[in-house]
Amino acid sequence: MHFVVSDGIQRSILILRLSSMKKLFGLLSILLLVAGAKAQFNLGFKHLDQIAVVHGPDTLNFPWAGGLNNPQFSSLDVNIDGLNDFYAFERDGEVTRIFLRDANGGFSADMTSHKLLPKLDGSFVLFRDYDGDGKKDIFSSGYNNFGFDVHRNISDTSLKFDLIKQSLTYSRLGASSLYFTVPSNDLPAISDFDGDGDLDVLVQGQVDLTPFVLLYIENQSMDLYGTADSLKYRLVNPCWGHVREYISQTGWTEFVCDTGRAANQRLRHGGTTLTSLDLNNDGIVDLLTGDSYNPYLRSLVNVMDNVDAEIDLTLSDTTFPVYNQPAILPNIPAAYIEDVDGDGINDMLVAPNQLTDGATSFFDTSITKEVDWYYRNTGSNLNPNFELESAGFFSGEMIDVGARSFPAMVDLNGDQLLDLILGNEGYTVYGGTAPASLTFYENVGDSTNAIYKLQDENFANLKTYGYGYIHPTFGDLDDDGDNDMVIGTDQGILHLFRNDGTSQSPLYVLDEANYAGIDYDLSTHPFLFDLNLDGLLDLIVGDYYGRFHYHENAGTPEEHDFSMNATLFKMGNVQTFQTFGGESSVYFTRQLDSIGTNLYILQSNADGTILVYGPISDYTLDL
């Protein structure tokens, strides 16, 4: 077979930002592909959220919303209906999740309004009303986390933003100005500390010119101009609270402020989240903080003044809220004080801020399931009492198989309905990573209305093999009427699992490890498909470098035969590592147009892009 991607074969690109999210999103995603010269390539897919998914007795509210790993939450009126919706900046992949509030207080996932927002990336995104017009503006990290970028909310009948400050700086008395610097796992506190109507900032000092304590940077807008909209910042207190992080362990310690000396940048371990609020109704701003190597929130109680603060560490709650259920969210938890239930009193959402280092056993990882804990405030805004209502308030309503997802559709019980199998990279746990597994959702609907019910989170008991990830593909390789399974792994090899059960009740047994000797070094993503139309399932294997390779089945219906060497190595000369991050996972089909014989290839990549090649009709077969 000769296969070349030529100018006559159109390629369209859709950036979904799904793979780096490590969640299920691409299965039923928006897929709007720009048509080329040929009319038959007018593909048009839209996101579907009507397909029900059932976990136990519960039907998930937004199963296809894509999952969450490290969300940063802000409330925002997205659809300009007077109700506060929720925006989540998902750090893992730098993508947006939006949840619209309805009149009854419920939420639905909005998969289109993110288009109304500017491109936002970096270490943080927080919505705060800096100009006092009642519309929340955007504070986000600047380029390479230097400075803040600020977008003003100029919405009228629809959501609109205008970039008004880029790489925001602050001045210092008798010294040069500095960028606001927020390292990748930090989160600043942005609120009106001094009560004058403009937004001040509390961050950790990060450069050699400032010690690694809390820096109170005051907005001078009201003082200078009598309005809140100028974003004129000055360092007022270079040692707010008289505390600093421990150097070699988690937590805080008293610090005798000596701001005249430079600090050694190596003396600080990374990762601190800061959230400001009054915890005890004394009119003084306190803090909730998250820290490296620690799953707990800690309160820092201020006993002095909002500007000239003094933290009394003897009053700290090191497992906040100790009076209820402490939040346990590895790693570097962050608190978001927002009105979740719409009663006018600010509640608390807690989520891990440190990015997960997937497929490793490193200690400093974040959990990857039920990552948002909702605490209802049964007290008041000035004297809060946070009570845990839900672990996984948003994330628990989605399909979430931990780190990454590799979906396959196959009829596993012979009822002529396609079931859903999801491979993954395991569920990250604090201090390590759990083995990869397969999750089985049975289609319990009918031919016109699918309903997916969770049946098994360790399908075929593949956890026992300890694979780093599992990417499954299914097909009948021995002509016995049931589906066998080939899986790709992080080791660059394949494994064959023979179905020793039936088409109604499968039983998968490892038949051949290192299947056919096929080895592509770092990762493999297999797909079974009859490419040469000889009635036998061939094998296409995507790899780490963004290539995909064709292995022809030279056997018989009863006896498959694949060579360790590709029949076509690097099909079409495609390699996406430099442009789209590689990790090629492919889907071949002849069912995307009305002709029914044209071949189309969909290739997903590590950065979330999906490339579509086709229609391909002018290749020749060497039989």
d(CA 516, CA 41): 36
Lowest-confidence region among 150-164, 199-213, 509-523, 546-560: 199-213
Average pLDDT value for the chain: 87
Nearest to 478 by CA among 594, 365, 559: 559
* Average pLDDT estimate for 203-218: 80
Nearest to 20 by CA among 312, 356, 445, 389: 356
Q: What is the pLDDT of residue 271?
A: 83
pLDDT > 90? residue 506: yes
Three-class SS state of 124? coil
Are 340 and 88 contacting, i.e. CB atoms less than 8 angstroms apart?
no
Lowest-confidence region among 175-184, 404-413, 557-566: 175-184
* Position 366 confidence tier, pLDDT thresholds 50, 70, 90: low
Are 401 and 454 contacting, i.e. CB atoms less than 8 angstroms apart?
no
Q: Which residues of 210-245 are buried (b: 16+ CB within 10 A; e: fewer)?
A: bbbbbbbbbbbbbeeeeebbbbbbebbbbbbbbbbb
Q: What is the pLDDT of residue 146?
A: 79
Q: What is the pLDDT of residue 205?
A: 81
* Average pLDDT estimate for 185-194: 95
Q: What is the pLDDT of residue 142?
A: 87
d(CA 379, CA 321): 13
Q: What is the pLDDT of residue 183?
A: 83
d(CA 526, CA 406): 11
* Position 209 confidence tier, pLDDT thresholds 50, 70, 90: low
pLDDT > 90? residue 388: yes
Higher pLDDT, residue 79 or 428: 79
Q: What is the pLDDT of residue 207?
A: 61
* Position 122 confidence tier, pLDDT thresholds 50, 70, 90: confident
Which secondary structure element, helix H or strand E, spans residue 222, and what is its range? helix 221-225
* Position 336 confidence tier, pLDDT thresholds 50, 70, 90: very high
Q: What is the pLDDT of residue 147?
A: 86
Give 393-423 pLDDT, tens digit per residue.
999 999 998 878 999 999 999 999 999 999 9
* Position 248 confidence tier, pLDDT thresholds 50, 70, 90: low
Give 602-619 pLDDT, tens digit per residue.
999 988 889 999 888 855
* Average pLDDT estimate for 44-53: 86
Which secondary structure element, helix H or strand E, spans residue 577, and what is its range? helix 577-580
Residue whose pair of structure tokens reads 């570097």 in the numeric block: 332
Higher pLDDT, residue 143 or 20: 143
Three-class SS state of 460? helix
d(CA 284, CA 487): 58
CB-side neighbour CA atoms (13 Å) of 407: 21
Give 136-164 pLDDT, tens digit per residue.
999 999 887 778 999 999 999 999 999 99
321 upstream amide cis, omega within 30 of 0 = yes
Q: What is the pLDDT of residue 9?
A: 38
CB-side neighbour CA atoms (13 Å) of 423: 23
